[in-house]
Amino acid sequence: MYNFGIHLYSLGVAIASHFNEKVGKMWRGEHETFNILREKVDPNAQYIWVHAASLGEFEQGRPIIEHIKKEHPQQKVLLTFFSPSGYEVRKNYEGADIIAYLPLDTASNARRFLSLIKVKMALFIKYEFWYNYLHILKQQGVPVYSISCIFRDNQIFFRWYGKPYSKVLRCITHFYAQNEESRRLLASIGLTNVTVTGDTRFDRVLQIREAAKHLPIVEKFITGNPSKVFVAGSSWQPDEDIFIRYFNEHKDWKLIIAPHVISEEHLREIEKQLEGRKVVRYTEAETASELDKADALIINCFGLLSSIYHYGQVTYVGGGFGVGIHNVLEAAVWNVPVIIGPNNKKFQEAQELIAAGGCFEITGYPDFEQLMQRFEADALYLSEAGKRAGEYVKDRAGATTGVLTEISQDSH
């Protein structure tokens, strides 16, 4: 049944690739993978294979990749992605020897893929449990580790109809789980090879903070009012409809927007909403003679957001009025409060950050307006919320160390 479903999915992707640019990149990239492996694989080397679905999962695995490379610089690493939002951003990452898309998990693709490269161990990040790849790895005696995994009781593995598919979990050598609930759920189906280490993303965001970029354009933009800067990251239109309305009415704030989609159409829509305000795009800011007098700065390029959060007194992380929030930790690590939309219940870090008092859920404009007015009126409340956000991140660091002892032993 699984293989039948994968073939149907493959057919759907093939059709969609003609109409959707993102799907088209994925489809072409998956087919190019075999050529990449034939061209780049060292036939005399064994590889540590790290698979991440997308960019967020890559950031969870990155501290482990970089530790392995630091301690064992000769060790070869293969990094694969499922989504273009991971591969296209990190295809030139210097920490891996080979970077490619992972072909869809058909039995023939999995056999072909694993015949082209000698895998010493495999690290699958968070949610990735591909039936054919994992069964072949087990048959080959390759140790497989599930890193920063997290389970919920509504997942297929724990439903009566998911028992056949749950066998894939028995291909995992060891689970490094984010929480005790995941350990309990795995134990309920007879799996006890679990260590609760937490989430490696906490270690990664602390690394990012240490390596934050110096951004002269942003610093010039906030000159004159550096104490009232609002940074919105990974925002979508429903998010923008809320916070832009507020800032059109409260003109003493500087607004930095890093939208999730930076298409020309979306950028123009944001500029239209900010009509009457002086707006500058980041890539055009060097020629803006009065950048410091602008009201809003739109970040129309990638790779800067994690450093830009540093400049805000209040931050907003988008996605909560759509499919789900983006990375709240990148903002919280800077000791600033984080505002998010209501679709955050599946994100453990968001729920814990709310409980810690460093993150605030809104369901619409009235909530947002009330919260912002309190932040403006009560400097101590604002400061304490930011402090709690930063402490939450620092207190949960260390998951990478918890994983690496066993992983490092097998990476020699």
Q: Averaged in consecutive runs of 10 residues, what is the pLDDT profile of the chain (412 residues)?
A: 63 64 68 92 96 90 92 94 86 95 91 96 92 96 95 91 90 95 96 94 92 92 88 97 95 95 95 93 83 93 92 97 94 98 94 98 97 97 98 94 74 51
Structure-token match 């580790």, residue found: 145
For 57, the enclosing helix (H) or strand (E) is helix 55-71
pLDDT score, position 85: 78
pLDDT score, position 1: 66
pLDDT score, position 410: 54
pLDDT score, position 314: 98
pLDDT score, position 18: 60
pLDDT score, position 89: 85
By CB atoms closer than 10 A (0-12, 13-18, 19+), residue 181 is middle
Number of H helices, E strands in the chain: 18, 14
Beta strand ranges found along 357-408 (DSSP E): 359-361
For 409, residues 6+ apart whose C-beta sits below 8 A from its C-beta are: none
pLDDT score, position 136: 97
pLDDT score, position 128: 83
| Cα separation, 115 vs 113, whole angstroms | 5
| Cα separation, 302 vs 299, whole angstroms | 8
| Cα separation, 133 vs 378, whole angstroms | 55
Quick check: 298 and 281 in contact, CB under 8 A?
Answer: yes
